[in-house]
């Protein structure tokens, strides 16, 4: 590997970056919600580059996700939603398997965004979920088996004609598998 840009010749990247981002991403410690959201989004962007390091810090990652999901600020919860999707999309199944427990919370966030008519955030989350479905459909098996979610949510949005953006309905339709026989819903 090219070691140009390394602060420490024996290790990749900036050794203080990840601990700082984890601290800033913790909604219990960082009361500045805009800063917390930005830090979680930065962490999401670092997954691809620092995959091993981020996933290896399971305790810190778990704390970030848990504190974000319980945060009162929807933007922080959305950032955590996107972080979970990025992890599932990027890392191996054995590494994202603990995130199966977040399925119910992900669906709750989708429902809250739809109820609040927050189309921009709902669109962003649905795009992330659609990407996950294309790469790791197994991520949804457990929730589909127990509650049929997020399929119920997606079909409800598709059936709602008034007040729902056509792009959002299209993303929901894209997420749902075609019915047996290949017809339309």
The pLDDT tens digits for 13-63 are: 567 889 999 999 999 999 999 999 999 999 999 998 888 888 889 999 999
Question: How much is the average pLDDT of 110-119?
Answer: 90
Q: What pLDDT, on the 0 to 100 scale, is given for residue 4?
A: 52
CA-to-CA distance for 78 and 110, rounded, in angstroms? 9
Question: How much is the average pLDDT of 147-171?
Answer: 76
Each domain of the chain, given as residue ranges in start order, spans 17-175
Residue 140: exposure state from Cβ atoms within 10 A (0-12, 13-18, ≥19): buried
How many of the other CB atoms lie within 10 Å of CB of 144? Answer: 15
Q: What pLDDT, on the 0 to 100 scale, is given for residue 55?
A: 87
CATH topology of domain 17-175: 1.25.10
Q: Which of 135-139, 143-147, 154-158 has the highest average model confidence (pLDDT)?
A: 135-139
Q: What pLDDT, on the 0 to 100 scale, is given for residue 168?
A: 76
Question: How much is the average pLDDT of 119-127?
Answer: 92
Q: What pLDDT, on the 0 to 100 scale, is given for residue 42?
A: 96
pLDDT score of 159 more than 80: no
């Amino acid at each position: 590997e090219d070691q140009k840009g390394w602060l420490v010749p024996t290790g990749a990247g900036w050794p203080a970056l990840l601990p700082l981002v984890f601290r800033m991403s913790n909604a219990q410690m960082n009361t500045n919600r805009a800063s917390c959201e930005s830090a979680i989004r930065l962490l999401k962007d670092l997954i691809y580059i620092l995959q091993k390091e981020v996933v290896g810090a399971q305790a810190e990652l778990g704390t970030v996700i848990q504190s974000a999901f319980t945060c009162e600020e929807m933007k922080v919860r959305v950032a955590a939603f996107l972080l979970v999707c990025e992890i599932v999309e990027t890392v191996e199944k054995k590494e994202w398997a603990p995130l199966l427990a977040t399925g119910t919370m992900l669906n709750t966030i989708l429902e809250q965004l739809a109820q609040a008519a927050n189309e921009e955030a709902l669109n962003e989350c649905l795009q992330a979920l659609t990407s996950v479905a294309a790469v790791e459909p197994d991520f949804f098996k457990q929730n589909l088996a127990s509650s049929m979610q997020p399929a119920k949510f997606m079909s409800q949005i598709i059936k709602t004609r008034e007040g729902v953006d056509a792009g959002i309905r299209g993303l929901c339709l894209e997420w749902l598998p075609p019915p047996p026989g290949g017809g339309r819903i």
